[in-house]
Amino acid sequence: MAPKLPTSWAQLPPTFLLPDAFLPIITKRGVKYGWTTAPARGKPARFNQKTAGLPVLEQSPAAALARKELTLPLRTGALGIKKGMTALYDPDTGVRTPCTVVQFDRVQVVSQKTREKNGYFAVQIGSGWKQPQNVGRPLMGHFAGHGVSPKKFVTEFRVKNESGLLKAGVTIGPEWFLEGQFVDARSDCKGKGWAGGMKKWGFKGQPASHGNSKNHRTMGSSGASQGGGSRVLPGKKMPGRMGGNQVTIQNVKVLKVDAEKGLLVLNGCIAGPNGCVVKIQDAIKKPWPTIPAAMEKVKEALAANA
């Protein structure tokens, strides 16, 4: 049959006379970008007023910041390279103190994170130096935008408020920390590979003899049978990858600060092999240190007022 065109489009009846099935069924009103832009049909928050006596919501970003209020340090930390361990002797008392030597390598502030823009306050710190050709364009632009040379290691340290933020390009040396103060040192510990239950969790293993056969270092039972639900409970300690995770050593005392050599000598041991990156920040479980520079500012202000 030959195609047949309608004789005239004017023959179609006006739209208001057409049946509903012929009209487009897509909703257009109040919909944009796939979600509704219509005004909210109610204000559910009005039921959660302070006068209502209901518990305050704890899922908001503001509530999260309030929770961290006491544990966020006032000032930024720094990145160091673990150089090795040795000991310090007190010539008077003869006390030997084992220590870890951490060296600072061109530690600089790269950028800042603010509450308005990122939802929290933090200082981005870079350390070392990287060949510019080995840095991708996005990161290169990030460094150039803040006027900082390409850095080998970049990390961020959260701070409590904007008073803890530092300008990009500010250099942080070991003198940032005071002798005798306490810091938290976090670094990636040595990876042990796939390890059995005895090594990873300290399981006791089985006896060597008394009829034991081919089960000396196995983990044994992984739980009760029918009474326990006939299943392995979540979080059961099992063999698997061990180490290689970040470990925080809290309340490490700063024994010595050598700004000239860029050295920070910390008490005791720090996780990780020699040459690993150590993130050092004021200890959260000790009172915040009193910084002499801040004291000088206060003194200057007092002198100016007097």
Footprint of another protein on this chain (CB under 8 A)?
A: 3-6, 12-13, 18, 22, 83-84, 86-94, 96, 101, 103-106, 108, 129, 132, 137, 140-141, 143-144, 147-150, 171, 258, 260-263, 265
Q: How far is the CB of 115 from another protein (least distance, A)?
A: 28
Give the DSSP letter of residue 223: S
Query: Buried (b) or exposed (e) across 75-104, using 16+ Cβ within 10 A?
Result: bbbbbbbbbeeeeeeeeeeeeeeebbbbbb
Q: How far is the CB of 98 from another protein (least distance, A)?
A: 8
Q: How far is the CB of 139 from another protein (least distance, A)?
A: 10
Residue 151 in contact with residue 79, Cβ under 8 Å?
A: no
CA 62 to chain centre: 18
Q: How far is the CB of 183 from another protein (least distance, A)?
A: 18
The token pair at 57 is: 């919501």
| CA within 13 Å, CB half, 239 | 13
152 or 158, CB closer to another protein? 152
The token pair at 98 is: 């084992």
22 or 33, CB closer to another protein? 22
Closest CA to 103 of 235, 276, 236: 276
CA 179 to chain centre: 26
149 or 251, CB closer to another protein? 149
Q: How far is the CB of 190 from another protein (least distance, A)?
A: 19
118 or 274, CB closer to another protein? 274
Amino acid at 37: T
253 or 286, CB closer to another protein? 253
